[in-house]
Structures are given as structure tokens and as C-alpha cells.
């Protein structure tokens, strides 16, 4: 049998068609310092140059054998375009992701400009996606992502204001989240129109260690259903933190696949959802790829596969300073141990 190309492997995976081996990819950032150092640049530079962003993603995929590249890397592109500014830490030699320096103080201050897709670094991301698709020679799938409406809201207004508002200003919070939902749909559709091969909606701040299942159903689920009904496939829902109590509601949102982190009991989730659902997860990327000895990584990855994931995904972005040998072990274990069928995807 001829080995599949990375992009073909991922396309078949999302179609639930048999693949040669489990794909190794993510819906979050996968850039590493090894790629950045090879390019002779600093981490702070990748966020403001389309060439640097695209080539750092491609170089990382080439170095480690990933099946995809994922752009952008930081969560501030949309808030910046909405006028909230951005701190880029230009002069830092350290790994510092951009942050939002100026959030709206109250729900009454919220104002969404109509032309934000052309502002800030949004055009840089657009250009980077185009470069990734062309310069990658079509080998790699290109993944895009956008924060979910609740998590996006937390980048634009202080989280305590939002959480208190769910009790004291219910109508205002609902209206704000409705605005965020429309915004997420517009950004995700924009990236899909640019040709990304899959779209990840990262509603990462809505796990039940932050909000209760009752509040999740009231403020999160309907908005996610609206988003996924508006998007083309492949489309993924990712939520960090505790998701055991909401996993069935997550599965009702209309995504093609669900992504969970290490706090989810994947074996129990698989029992709840059955073998038809594409399940992605669920190792701690910082602990596994930065802190652990390389000799410990193989067992972490095997445990994910044994629990019933269809693809081993990190629970969040791969921290750029991940150890080279740890990432190599992660990929090699997926390729070797992932030759057997997963619950929802067979093997050729």
C-alpha cells in the first residue's frame, strides 16, 4: 500500500474513510522554537509577518512529520481588529504570546465595527494562510481556528463582569454573546472561504470548572449550534478543562468532531457517545512535551489511543519550547501505535 500524503490522510479522516495510519495534527498552534531558530528569527516576530507565520508553521511540520499546519498562533488578532489593541512584546527574547491590553469595562461599552476583517493583523493572517497553502506544495492540510463566542467575549471584557452578568444582566449578556456568535461565524466563514481544510471553534473557556452545566446549556449551547449550522465541514468543537458533565451537550452542537483536554475521561466519553463520533484528545502538551523525560511520552500517547481517541490531540497549543526528543516521540508513537483502527475511523 502506498503511504498517504498528509493532507489526504486528514481529508479521509474527517470523512470517516479508512486511512493508512492515525493522523498526527491539531487544531491549535503547533509552532516550535526549533523551526523558529532554524529560520533565524525570534518568537515575537512570527505574529506580525505573514511569511514568518506561514514558514514557521511549515518548517515545524517538516521537522517533526506533522500532517497539518495551523494558523494563526495567538488569540488577539480579532480583539485587536475590534479596536482593543495588542501587546506584541516586540523586543522580548522570551516566548511571550500577544495579549489584549484594553478590554471593555462594561457591557454597555461594546461596539463592533463593520470593517474589522481588514484591520490590525487580520490581513496578515489571511496572507499567511495563502502562503501556507501554496508553499506547502499541497502536502499539508491547513487548519484554521477562531475562539468560540464565550471565550472571545472573555478576550474583550473582563471575565468576572461576564460571569456576574449571567446572573444580574442576563439579557445584556445574551445580546453580547449573540453579537460574539455572529462575529465567530463571520471570521470562521472568512477562513473557510480562504480555503482552510478544517476549522476549529475553540470555546476553551467554557469548561465546567468555570461555568456550571446549567449555565453552559443556557448561554453556550444554542450559540454553538448556530455557529456549526452556519459552517462547512470539517468543523471541530474544542473545549478545555472539565467537560465530562457537558460532553453529550457538546455532541448536540453539530460539530464533525469533538476535542477535549486531559481533564476529560475519554474512556467514559467514548461509552457515552458511542463509536460513531470523531473524538480528539487528550494529553497535556506542556507537561508531556516540555516537562517530562522523553522516555515517559510514549506511554502518555498510548494511553490516549487506548482510551478511544480517533486522533491524539494536545489539550491546547503545543508550547513552542517543547523538547525536540519529546515531540519526536509523540509523533513516532502516534505513527506506530496508531496503525490499528480507532473507534470511528478504519484502516486500509
Measured CA to CA, the distance from residue 4 to residue 128 in angstroms comes to 25
pLDDT band at 295 (very low <50, low <70, confident <90, very high): very high
- Give the pLDDT confidence score for residue 167 in this predicted structure: 83
Q: Which residues pair with 44 in a beta bridge?
A: none
**Structural domains of the chain, with CATH:** 6-337 (3.20.20.210)
DSSP code at position 335: H
Beta strands in the chain (DSSP E): 68-71, 141-147, 198-202, 235-239, 257-260, 278-283, 311-314
pLDDT, mean over the chain? 96
Characterise 310 by phi-psi region: left (phi > 0), alpha (psi -120 to 50), beta (else).
alpha
pLDDT band at 176 (very low <50, low <70, confident <90, very high): very high
pLDDT digits 0-9 by tens, 20-49: 999 999 999 999 999 999 999 999 999 999
The alpha carbon torsion through 77, 82, 85, 89 (nearest 10 deg) reads 0
- Give the pLDDT confidence score for residue 1 in this predicted structure: 59
DSSP code at position 179: H
Cβ neighbours around 49 below 10 Å, total: 16
pLDDT digits 0-9 by tens, 142-174: 999 999 999 999 999 988 888 888 888 889 999
The answer to whether the predicted template modeling score (pTM) of the entire model surpasses 0.75 is yes
180 Cβ partners below 8 Å, 6+ apart? 149, 150, 152, 153, 156, 223
**Percent share of the chain, pLDDT over 90:** 93
Q: Mean pLDDT, to the nearest integer, of 307-333?
A: 98
pLDDT digits 0-9 by tens, 80-138: 999 999 999 999 999 999 999 999 999 999 999 999 999 999 999 999 999 999 986 67
* Residue 228 CA: distances (Å) to CA of 4, 90, 189, 206, 224: 29, 36, 11, 17, 6
Measured CA to CA, the distance from residue 175 to residue 173 in angstroms comes to 5
Amino acid at each position: 500500500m502506498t503511504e498517504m500524503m498528509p493532507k489526504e490522510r486528514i481529508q479521509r479522516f474527517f470523512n470517516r474513510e479508512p486511512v493508512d495510519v492515525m493522523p498526527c495534527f491539531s487544531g491549535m498552534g503547533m509552532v516550535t522554537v526549533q523551526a523558529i531558530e532554524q529560520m533565524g528569527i525570534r518568537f515575537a516576530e512570527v505574529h506580525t509577518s505573514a511569511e514568518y507565520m506561514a514558514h514557521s508553521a511549515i518548517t515545524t511540520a517538516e521537522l517533526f512529520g506533522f500532517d497539518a499546519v495551523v494558523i494563526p498562533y495567538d488569540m488577539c488578532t480579532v480583539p485587536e481588529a475590534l479596536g482593543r489593541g495588542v501587546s506584541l512584546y516586540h523586543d522580548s527574547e522570551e516566548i511571550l504570546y500577544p495579549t489584549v491590553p484594553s478590554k471593555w469595562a462594561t457591557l454597555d461599552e461594546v461596539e463592533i465595527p463593520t470593517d474589522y476583517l481588514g484591520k490590525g493583523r487580520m490581513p496578515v493572517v489571511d496572507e499567511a494562510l495563502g502562503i501556507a497553502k501554496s508553499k506547502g506544495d499541497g502536502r499539508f492540510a491547513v487548519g484554521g481556528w477562531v475562539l468560540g463566542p464565550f471565550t472571545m467575549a472573555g478576550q474583550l471584557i473582563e471575565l468576572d463582569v461576564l460571569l456576574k452578568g449571567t446572573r444580574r444582566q442576563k439579557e445584556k449578556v445574551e445580546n453580547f454573546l449573540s453579537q460574539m456568535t455572529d462575529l465567530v461565524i463571520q471570521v470562521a466563514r472568512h477562513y473557510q472561504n480562504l480555503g482552510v481544510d478544517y476549522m476549529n471553534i475553540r470555546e476553551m473557556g467554557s469548561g465546567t470548572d468555570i461555568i456550571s452545566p446549567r449555565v453552559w446549556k443556557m448561554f453556550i449551547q444554542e450559540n454553538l449550534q448556530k455557529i456549526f449550522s452556519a459552517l462547512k465541514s470539517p468543523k471541530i468543537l474544542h473545549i478545555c478543562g472539565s467537560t465530562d458533565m457537558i460532553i453529550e451537550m457538546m455532541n448536540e452542537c453539530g460539530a464533525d468532531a469533538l476535542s477535549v483536554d486531559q481533564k476529560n475521561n475519554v474512556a467514559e466519553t467514548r461509552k457515552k457517545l458511542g463509536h460513531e463520533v470523531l473524538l480528539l484528545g487528550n494529553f497535556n502538551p506542556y507537561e508531556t512535551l516540555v516537562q517530562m523525560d522523553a522516555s515517559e511520552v510514549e506511554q502518555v500517547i498510548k494511553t490516549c489511543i487506548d482510551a478511544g481517541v480517533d486522533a491524539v490531540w494536545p489539550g491546547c497549543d503545543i508550547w513552542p519550547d517543547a523538547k525536540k526528543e519529546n515531540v519526536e516521540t509523540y509523533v513516532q508513537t502516534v505513527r506506530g501505535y496508531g496503525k490499528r483502527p480507532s473507534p470511528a475511523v478504519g484502516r486500509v
